[in-house]
Chains A and B, each alone.
Chain A
Amino acid sequence: MANSYYDPADLRKFGKITEWSEEIGNKFFDYYGKVFEEGALSAREKSLIALAVAHVVKCPYCIDAYTKDGLQRGITKEEMMEAVHAGAAIESGATLVHGVQMMNKYNKLSM
């Protein structure tokens, strides 16, 4: 066993999850592949969304994968960083909007 929770080499083995549960594993990869095809959004736009979400869910494998994917698509580092900020802004906004709950509770409990 590896002595750390995350090993970059494990990303290559992602496909192996189907070995222990073939049907739903394959369904997932079919779905995944379909999602990232060109559609109403371009594959390029979806790659940037994936990169932003990868940061929000703090998945190191996804960050590696979608940084590389972006490079392959010719996406610039400025575009990538803006996408990360978009994700970070929503995430911090999600925290801060709870401040309203805090304010409500504070006001309710205070005389």
Chain B
Amino acid sequence: MEQSILPEIKKAAKKSLKARDGELASINKQMEILNGGIFADGELPYFKDKIAEIGHHPLRPNKLEILQINVGYMCNQVCEHCHVDAGPDRKEIMTRETMELCLEVIRNTGAHTLDLTGGAPEMNPNFRWFVEEAAKAGIKDFIVRSNLTIIRANKKYYDLPEFFKKHNVHVVSSMPHYTRGKTDKQRGDGVFDKSIKALQELNAVGYGMPNSDLRLDLVYNPSGAFLPGDQMAMERDFKKALDEDFGIQFHNLFAITNLPISRFLDYLIASDNYEDYMYALVEAYNPAAVANVMCTNTISVSWDGWLYDCDFNQMLDLKVASKVKHIKDYNEDLLNDRNIVISQHCYGCTAGAGSSCQGTVA
């Protein structure tokens, strides 16, 4: 990508698509792009046809393992690739009432993992109360997806590492690269230094240390129109660089593919990379990844309590194809008997070794 191609995106990078009234803030427009163009022309196959070849259409869920709750789209960062279109200007925040409904489900679910995401989940004013209550439910793996810089964003967040430790929260944090330049380009100036400081603080209370039960995993997603490389090789490079340069330890690296929706789709189109990116995704399609894509073991809950097959479908407002569509009517058996809603963005989860919020799947 030439530096000069994207001045308006760069300039606008402090605001969400929604706030700048971007064309792709419209979900219909996004769906039109994903269903039209090179797919409608027959140049590339529709995702449903591709999975039909291996007998996986309609795509059906397996046993529910992960309940992923998005507690709000507000974030202290405005990352260029964000599929949530999160930012400081987003006001969609889960209320305490909806959290109560979620807690009821958490107490009764068969899922073993609770996964809190956002935006920056910590910015929800009821976040700590929710974590305390959810921790009491005794779920096996309790994940908070933290962007790291939030820990250094304001004094009121400085004690988050201790808070996470107290409730034995599994921290999963984004870290696009182990060099300053690439990190700041994707996530904003100063993000790298703050992230390093936050990681050191997490290490200081025991997170990420070898043999520590306090789990600290990092998420890598490419800072541009290319797919992630081999997860193990990346993990090796990240571990070596972060240890040598900053003495930082962490457990695993999850390599996640950017899905062509929201701000990342906007970027792909503005930089004239959309077609090449879709070709790359389709070319890297791995049938072995299909059986384990995360929508087969996850339910995603939005800030206002609607249910989705994944956080990406949530952003495209593709609600679950089930009688049960809202957390207030939650019924696990009914929900598990559904067809998963798919479109061409799903190629992002089946490319190469596959991609999910827990890294590769194949």
Contacts and interface: CB of A to CB of B under 8 A. Distances in A.
A72 B233 contact: no
A72 B279 contact: no
Contacts of B182: 76
B177 interface: yes
Interface residues of A, number: 12
A73 B233 contact: yes
A74 B229 contact: yes
Contacts of A42: 233
Contacts of A102: none
Given A12-B279, A76-B179, A71 B222 contact: yes
- Give the interface size class of chain B: 20 to 34
B229 A73 contact: yes
A42 B236 CA distance: 12
B281 to A, nearest CB: 13
A77 B182 CA distance: 10
B279 A43 contact: no
Contact of A72 (B181, B226, B238, B276): B226
A74 B226 contact: no
Given A12-B279, A76-B182, A68 B226 contact: yes
B222 A44 contact: no
Nearest to B352: A72
B224 interface: yes
Contacts of B230: 43, 73
Given A12-B279, A43-B233, A44-B233, A71 B226 contact: yes
A41 B227 CA distance: 23
A72 B283 CA distance: 15
B179 A72 contact: no
A44 B177 CA distance: 16
Nearest to A42: B233
A68 B181 CA distance: 18
Contact of B227 (A72, A74, A77): A72
A12 B276 CA distance: 9
B277 to A, nearest CB: 11
Contacts of B289: none
B5 to A, nearest CB: 15
Interface string B271-286: 0000010010001000
Contacts of B279: 12
B288 interface: no
A16 to B, nearest CB: 13
Interface in A47-85: 68, 71-74, 76-77
Contacts of B220: 74
Interface string A13-46: 0000000000000000000000000000011100
A36 B234 CA distance: 17
B189 interface: no
Contacts of A77: 181
Nearest to B241: A74
A57 B178 CA distance: 32
Contacts of A73: 229-230, 233-234
B118 interface: no
A68 B276 CA distance: 11
Nearest to B234: A74
Interface string B235-266: 00110000000000000000000000000000
A42 B276 CA distance: 27
A65 to B, nearest CB: 11
Contacts of A68: 226
A76 B223 CA distance: 12
A11 to B, nearest CB: 9
Nearest to A76: B179
Contacts of B222: 71-72
Contacts of B179: 76
Interface in B297-328: none
Interface string B152-194: 0000000000000000000000000111011000000000000
Interface of A: 8, 12, 42-44, 68, 71-74, 76-77
Given A74-B238, A76-B179, 8 more contacts: A8-B276, A12-B283, A43-B233, A68-B226, A72-B222, A73-B234, A74-B178, A74-B220
12 contacts: A8-B276, A43-B233, A44-B237, A72-B222, A72-B226, A72-B228, A73-B230, A73-B233, A74-B177, A74-B178, A74-B234, A76-B179
